[in-house]
Amino acid sequence: MRRNECIAMLLAGGEGRRLGVLTKDLAKPAVHFGGKYRIIDFTLSNCVHSGIDTVGVLTQYQPLVLNRYLGIGSPWGLDRKEGGMHVLPPYVRSKGGTWYKGTANAIYQNIGFIERYEPEFVLVISGDHIYKMDYGLMLEAHKRNRADATIAVITVPWRDASRFGILTADESGRVVEFAEKPKKPASNLASMGVYVFSWPALREELIRDEADKSSSNDFGKDIIPRMLRDGARLYSYRFEGYWKDVGTIESLWQANMDLLDDRADLRLNDPAWRIFSVNPNQPAHYAAAGAHVTGSLVNEGCLIRGTVNRSVLFHGVTVGEGSFVEDSVLMPGAVVGAGARVVRAIIGEEAVIEDGCRVGSADSDEIAVVGSGETYRDENRLKEAKTV
């Protein structure tokens, strides 16, 4: 087996419970984003562009859609003779087997996988976040600091700081304090859930963590605090750029809207950093006579006869004659009939909004959601959808 300097372990088992009907049948990394992608495309593409060609994808919750989507990794160029992408679900051993008990336990259960590649470093990332990042630069910093672990951090607004794992670092970037979702944050440097570990150090920590029966086997709650207590060389790595955890309906909607805003700094049309995804083989989209499309992202295979403002349309979406779509996200194959009105809404995959229906409202604080495959007929259904 060829020796790899650094391999990636991508945590893709997230339930995404706060995404409601959108994660009913699929894991959070498989949720559609940005008109043609699924969330996991961003981290997988980051790996490829960072020169990491061995990626273990740890799946657990509702893996069917994700497994089918990932295949053998071809769309990301990860179908390789050596290394490449491997989907790693929990498995049964001779002495039984268990679900992944936590993020750290997921890696612990795959120590055997990692050792086959004899890596010096292991990158641990999560398939839940939207960002473009060169992990190679972070790895360089890790090596320069002779660190045991390096944690990528991003500056967040102070008011949001208590939602994240918050780090305090000294001038050299060495971590002096770490608190998971602190009530009174000591800094506004949030952990992005992107870690580079020196493999021998991580291996030892994983084994110790597993032996600790009181541990919740989580990187943020257990591994990092313990390493800090023990005086391990923990460094922070500052990331500048767009990063978003799309954990809620609101943040998923907002991240999609960010793509329509040049100030948000998430540029998809970057030939040097393409986000790869499974191609659905759809023809060029068709804007009919009478269509009005402005300030929007539209993918292939769409058929637009109505008005679309500030919205994101995935492949194969139909917008009927006289319909009005604004500030909305329409997932693959969604159908908006004629004379319908969709405002501030997320319409799930292959959902149907029948002729003349109204979904969402510009005055509402909440984002209206219609689940995948649902048919939306009358006003009552809107109320149901809104409470999700």
Contacting other proteins (CB under 8 A), which of 80, 174, 238, 292? 292
Instruction: Tell me if 276 contacts other proteins by CB under 8 A.
Output: yes
Task: Please state, in angstroms and rounded to a whole number, the distance separating the CA atoms of residues 157 and 361.
Answer: 28
CA dist 376 to 20, 335, 355, Å?
Answer: 17, 10, 10
Q: Which is nearer to other proteins, 151 or 346 (CB)?
A: 346
Binding of other proteins by 264 (CB under 8 A): no
Task: Give the integer Cα–Cα distance in Å for 194 and 132.
Answer: 12
Q: How far is the CB of 323 from other proteins (least distance, A)?
A: 15
284 touches other proteins by CB under 8 A: yes
Is 74 one of the binding residues for other proteins (CB under 8 A)?
Answer: yes
In whole angstroms, the minimum distance from the beta carbon of 303 to other proteins comes to 7
Name every residue whose Cβ is closer than 8 Å to that of residue 173 and which is 6 or more positions away in sequence.
141, 145, 235, 236, 237, 238
- Binding to other proteins (CB under 8 A): which residues in 299-338? 299-300, 303, 308, 312-314
With a CB cutoff of 8 Å and minimum separation 6, the contacts of 171 are none
200 contributes a contact to other proteins by CB under 8 A:
no
When asked if residue 269 is in the footprint of other proteins (CB under 8 A), the reply is yes
**Two tokens, residue 281:** 């083989």
Residue 358 interacting with other proteins (CB under 8 A)? no
Determine which residue in the list 6, 11, 21, 298 makes contact with other proteins, applying CB under 8 A: 298
Which residue lies nearer to other proteins by CB, 13 or 73? 73
Q: Which residues pair with 370 in a beta bridge?
A: 347
Is 68 one of the binding residues for other proteins (CB under 8 A)?
Answer: no
| From 9-17, 296-304, 367-375, 378-386, span contacting other proteins (CB under 8 A) | 296-304
Q: Is 290 in the site for other proteins (CB under 8 A)?
A: yes
Decide whether 56 or 332 has the Cβ nearer to other proteins: 332
Residue 281 near other proteins by CB under 8 A: yes
Selected from 216, 282, 321, 350, the binder of other proteins by CB under 8 A is 282
Q: Among 4, 54, 150, 277, indicate the residue that binds other proteins (CB under 8 A).
A: 277
Among 44, 58, 223, 275, binds other proteins (CB under 8 A): 275
For residue 1, the Cα-to-chain-centroid distance in whole angstroms is 31
DSSP string, 30-88: GSEETTTEETHHHHHHHHHHTT--EEEEE--SSHHHHHHHHTTSGGGT---SSSEEEEE
In the complex with other proteins, which residue's Cβ is closer, 189 or 308? 308
Q: Is 256 in the site for other proteins (CB under 8 A)?
A: no
Strand-strand pairing, 318-319 and 303-304: parallel
* Interface stretch with other proteins, choices 5-13, 82-90, 239-247, 284-292 (CB under 8 A): 284-292
Nearest alpha-carbon partner for 111 in 97, 98, 122: 122
CA distance 315 to 46: 23
- In sequence order, the 6+-apart residues with CB closer than 8 A to the CB of 362 are 326, 327, 343, 344
Residue found by looking up tokens 């305090």 in the block: 168
Interaction site with other proteins (CB under 8 A): 34-36, 74-75, 268-269, 274-277, 279, 281-300, 303, 308, 312-314
